[in-house]
Every structure is written in C-alpha cells, then in structure tokens.
Amino acid sequence: MAEIPDDTAALLQLLSASGSAVFLDFDGTLVDLAPTPDGVRLEAGVVDALLVLARRHGGALAIISGRPVAQIDAMLAPLLLPVAGVHGVERRDADGRLSVVPTPDVSAVLARAQALAERHPGLLVEHKRGAVALHYRLAPELEQLCVQEMTAAVQACPGLLLLHGKMVLEAKPATTDKGSAIAAFMAEAPFAGRRPVFAGDDTTDEAGFAYVQGAGGHGVKVGSGPSVATLRLASPDALRTALLAALEHIQKE
C-alpha cells in the first residue's frame, strides 16, 4: 500500500494565514469515526483551537457536515460556529441566521430503511431534515443489500440523490451538497474575498473540494481513497495536530 502523503505543514500554513476562510467536516475529520454516530468523541483542545482560529479569521470558520446543525452545536458546546448541516439543507450564517432549503418528502425512503433495519438489528437508521441515512458499520456484510434497498427507494422518490459514504448510505435532496453550502458562505461576510480551505474525509466531501479549488483555494483529503483534493492528511489525528499547532502559533504572535 502506498504511503499517504503528509501535508500537515502545508495545512498549518493555510490555517494560520490571515486571508483564509476555513471549512471543516466533522465526522472522520475533526473526530475519529465511531461504530455509531453518537459514539464519537471530541479530543481535548479542539474547541479551544477552533475558537482561536475563528477569531484569527474574523469569524470565517465554518463546519460543513452531514449532521444536523443542532448535533454539531451539542458536540462543540459552548462554541457556536457558522454551520452547514445535512449537506447544506440547513445553514446558519455568521450572524446566527438559520436558513433551510425546501426538501422532498422522504417518508417512503424512511419507511423502507426502517423496515430493513427491523429485519437486521445491526443496521441503524437516521432521520434528518429532508434526508435518511442507513448505517451498516456494525453489519458490513449487508452492504450490497443496503445498496439495493436504498437505491430502489431513492429511485422511487423524485428529487433525492443517494450518497455512498463510509459504511453509510444517505438519501438527500439532489439540489444541495457541501460545495453549494461553502459557496453560500463565500458569498457573505466574513468569508467573502478570502481563500477557502476545506478539510473532509469522505466521498460526500468531494463537491466541497471541487468548489474551493475552483475558487483558488485548497481541498484537504483526510485519510485514504481517491480524491480531487490537492492536499492529503493521513488521519483525523493529523488534522487535529495541525489545528493545535495553529493554535500555538497564533498564541505566540
């Protein structure tokens, strides 16, 4: 297996640069993946680093996640950052205004996913605003069955798109993604006019990488796997190392 490049030093420079706008995925990026979504843990010092970085960039730091905004707030409490949740379905800007895009009816997809999970206890279903996620991390042998069921369910519901993530399949509105969420932030203060940097770990983050690099910034892929991102880190721990190093660098200035 080829060694994963370590661009921690390059990311540290981007995080510390005064003209950056910083966008971070949550699961698999800020925190290590866990068997269940509620099993993740935030390492000590990360909230402090995010607070200092947000101040450094005049508030131009946002979380771009598949989780709902309320879950991100609970994980980062007492810190309240600009957040795009459910891949951009929900978005809270730097002034605290929450906007929600119209979403298709996902009740049929939810019912099919729940019926499948009832037959296979290792599966976990998440119902979000306008989206349904089916996790099979605890039952990886059911991947093909999950793909078949979720594909059929989404095909029967116009306006939905099926995302294939790390041990998860998510039906979400086709009109939103992490790239469009970042673009919306970049059209507003304090993000406008800055160079965007986005770190993420999954296929769901590729739209964000493509957008920021088209805007003259950098995508940072965390972990292995093909990606359009220009920078690469081995793990969430490497991302946290860069964050804490940026915190130390800024505090010494």
Decide if 82 is inside a domain.
Answer: yes
pLDDT bucket at 220, cuts 50 / 70 / 90: very high
Decide if 1 is inside a domain.
Answer: no
pLDDT of residue 4: 57
25 in active site: yes
Nearest 5°: the CA angle 91, 96, 49 is 85
Give CB contacts under 8 A, 24+ apart, made by 17-21: 17/195, 18/56, 18/57, 19/194, 19/195, 20/57, 20/60, 20/194, 20/195, 20/196, 20/197, 21/57, 21/60, 21/61, 21/185, 21/186, 21/190, 21/191, 21/194, 21/195, 21/196, 21/197, 21/217
pLDDT of residue 5: 64
Per residue in 98-113, pLDDT (tens digit) is 999 999 999 999 999 9
Domain boundary among 128, 150, 173: 173
Do 185 and 23 touch, CB atoms closer than 8 A?
A: yes
pLDDT of residue 2: 46
Per residue in 30-66, pLDDT (tens digit) is 999 999 999 999 999 999 999 999 999 999 999 999 9
pLDDT of residue 97: 98
- Domain co-membership, 94 together with 213: yes
Decide if 179 is inside a domain.
Answer: no
pLDDT at 164 over 80: yes
Among 6, 7, 25, 177, which one carries the catalytic annotation?
25
What are the residues whose beta carbons fall under 8 Å from the beta carbon of 3, sequence distance 6 or more?
none
pLDDT of residue 59: 98
Please count the structural domains in the chain.
Answer: 2
pLDDT at 252 over 90: no
For residue 42, the 8-state DSSP code is P
Range of the domain at 169: 107-173
Cα–Cα distance for residue pair 135/143, rounded to 1 Å: 9
Domain boundary among 116, 145, 173: 173
Q: What is the mean pLDDT of residues 107-122?
A: 97
- Domain co-membership, 85 together with 50: yes
Domain boundary among 142, 173, 204: 173
**Number of CB atoms found within 10 A of residue 175's CB:** 14
Per residue in 183-218, pLDDT (tens digit) is 999 999 999 999 999 999 999 999 999 999 999 999
H or E element that contains 133: strand 131-135
CATH number of the domain at 208, please.
3.40.50.1000
Nearest Cα to 198, choosing from 189, 187, 185? 185
pLDDT of residue 174: 96
Cα–Cα distance for residue pair 71/31, rounded to 1 Å: 14
Residue 210, by phi and psi: left (phi above 0), alpha (psi -120 to 50) or beta?
A: alpha
- Percentage of the chain beyond pLDDT 70 is 98
